[in-house]
Amino acid sequence: MKPVRVGSISVRALLLAAGAGLAMLAMASPARAQPTTTVSAGWVWPRGGLDDRYDRGVIVRARRGFPLLIAELHIQGGFTRLPGAQPRPPGADPSGLLPASADAANLLHAGMGLRVGLGLLWVGGTAAWFVGDLDDEMTFLPEVGLRLGPTELVGEVRWGERRWAALRAGVRF
């Protein structure tokens, strides 16, 4: 049976990611710690073959965190847009991983993860399901960040067949 799609987004994948996020919300309820919400935006630089097909794009994230001493469990969702680059020469994609056209790629994602830190610095990672104009894919996003009061600066990479590096700035509520 063929997956149900709305445009280029798999409905089943989106529902699975949303269900995982809701399960995480139900399980993570520390007694005294207050949940936090962070909204961030920044730039994403395609890597590993994507850089030939797509130019620097934008990334927007919303994250809900549940503090646990020095760690924080979180769920997050986001949107990434990669504008198309110049057409590549014939035969430049021997892997066959990239779409045939250089149109812009729009991606949605949902995931959950953990951050650990002391003071201003933290490290963490998120397991996320991406859906959209590229193949649907579950991947891991390692992150490192600097938190100054209610603001944070986050660097991340995306692993998997489609890789990128991203830098975001955010505000924590």
pLDDT tens per residue across span 42-99: 999 998 878 778 889 999 999 999 998 889 999 999 999 998 876 655 666 666 665 5
Taking only the tens place, the pLDDT of each residue in 4-18 is: 555 556 666 666 666
Within a domain: residue 56?
Answer: yes
Asked, for residue 111, whether it belongs to a domain, the answer is yes
Would you say the pTM of this structure is higher than 0.95? no
Closest listed residue to residue 56, CA positions, set 45, 72, 68: 45
Asked whether residue 166 is domain-assigned, the answer is yes
In a domain, 22, yes or no: yes
* Domain around 147: 5-88+101-172
pLDDT at 128: 94
Residue 167 pLDDT:
98
- Does some domain include residue 130? yes
Asked whether residue 139 is domain-assigned, the answer is: yes
Domain count, the chain: 1
Distance between CA atoms of residues 68 and 133, nearest Å: 36
Domain at 144, CATH number? 2.40.160
The answer to whether residue 43 sits within a structural domain is yes
- Domain presence at residue 94: no
Q: How many whole angstroms separate alpha carbon 172 and alpha carbon 120?
A: 14
